[in-house]
Structure 1
């Protein structure tokens, strides 16, 4: 967990470039809706590598961002897993192990949300924002995955890059003493808020690598390289899937 740092995969194709720019547009929308002011934003030239902002956010601002981020982060894995499941049924073919990993990612993101819910109960306006965002995001992800799973996984990889960046900023602000309410233990009394964020950041870094790697593969034929057992006569595509995909 200590070794996790913000990373950025430079767009290599027009699809990568579109996914990256669209993700940055979504980030702008999130900043606008959650009230992040200009002096609280990081260097636009290095959006996923800067680890501080000029003006620290408050604990309530961080919690709003965490809740909003995790409420939509659990959507892509569920959408992709659902569509691949239906695709497998229609084609009467195996899925090569992708569905499990995608659903596991979605479940993991939901656990992040439920953990933060133990610390903060959002108001009615925040709940309406989440409801609206989920409706738009879910339908958009369904359409996107039907058109191009490769670009969609790249988009999610860039989204997870931003998540790692966000949690890295939060950890630094805790270490710098700007978030005194986050220095105590979590509700169960075993870990600190900083420990929790480090655990979650490590999960997001894993999702980042998984989605970038899945985007590199043949969406119909390549097996999932993140499962331990392979069935059939195909072998994992170690050349294209090697490493984190970054």
Structure 2
């Protein structure tokens, strides 16, 4: 599991600057309250608006990377086949350009959690029932995948045609996944489980190319250092390792969610994993 960062350990309000009447007033937040200045443990100002210190964590690098769900039902086999079919054009287009491949992967990987979380959220409102923590868990998955993208955007600068491809692929995948989830949540979660298995494999290949010197092991982006609480002097290799661990965790949780549905239970009846990213 991934350890969440306690809020009190890494935030504080910086004292207001005295005698500086020329500074522009800070914009009020949505709630009409001026935002406090957040600082890190070392006293430096927190510069990220897309996440806060309490959203940071240390990835569990001890997670089993070799775990594989053997297809049993027809739905499992169809999900596995669909994922393999999606991988083939990706391999052909990006080949060994793993930075750009990761960028494309994360734009798609962040879709299922948002779709599933939204469907469960609306269902919870319609039926006046608890969600078992799954709405939060799935939305956290989507947010975590989005942060993967924000990180790899600093590593790989996509070309215009790659950006266009992202728009097209995301549009198709969003509607296709929503349709599958409405018909069979079990199959939809199984697809994500297999997608994450492929992601673990891709990031393992990424690491091999870094170790072989085919990809330069550049310093880790600052956003990644703060988000995963990486050591000072962390490099791209450290980033790929923690992202791979995240993907392995998403793999396990989505296979688990699929199994719950296969057993005839709703997700609300079985609590979501704690500390899920």
SS at structure 1 position matched to 2:221: coil
Question: Aligned partners of 1:14 and 1:3: how far apart in 2?
Answer: 28
1:50 alignment partner in structure 2 = none
The alpha-carbon distance between structure 1 residues 221 and 2, as it changes in their structure 2 partners (threshold 3 A), is closer
Q: How does 1:42-191 map to 2 (within 5 A)?
A: 57=96, 61-179=97-215, 181=216, 183-188=217-222, 190-191=233-234
For the 8 Å contact 1:149–1:219, the answer to whether it is kept is no
Question: Aligned partners of 1:220 and 1:9: how far apart in 2?
Answer: 19
Pairing partner for 1:22 from 77, 82, 86: 82
| 1:25 Cα deviation after fit | 0.6
Question: Aligned partners of 2:112 and 2:175: how far apart in 1?
Answer: 10
Question: Aligned partners of 2:161 and 2:180: how far apart in 1?
Answer: 28
The alpha-carbon distance between structure 1 residues 3 and 214, as it changes in their structure 2 partners (threshold 3 A), is closer
RMSD after superposition: 1.6
| 1:213 Cα deviation after fit | 0.5
* TM-score, L = length of structure 2: 0.69
Aligned length: 202
For the 8 Å contact 1:76–1:106, the answer to whether it is kept is yes
Q: How far does the alpha carbon of each residue in 1:12-52 deviate from its partner, in whole angstroms, 9 at most, with x for none?
A: 11111111011111111222333x3xxxxxxxxxxxxxxxx
| 1:227 Cα deviation after fit | 3.3
Question: Aligned partners of 1:80 and 1:3: how far apart in 2?
Answer: 24
Question: Aligned partners of 1:98 and 1:104: how far apart in 2?
Answer: 10
| 1:148 Cα deviation after fit | 0.2
Pairing partner for 1:8 from 62, 68, 74: 68
Larger Rg: 2
Question: Aligned partners of 2:63 and 2:139: how far apart in 1?
Answer: 26
Question: Aligned partners of 1:178 and 1:95: how far apart in 2?
Answer: 46
| 1:123 Cα deviation after fit | 1.5
1:224 alignment partner in structure 2 = 271
Question: Aligned partners of 1:222 and 1:79: how far apart in 2?
Answer: 20
1:203 aligns with 2:237: no
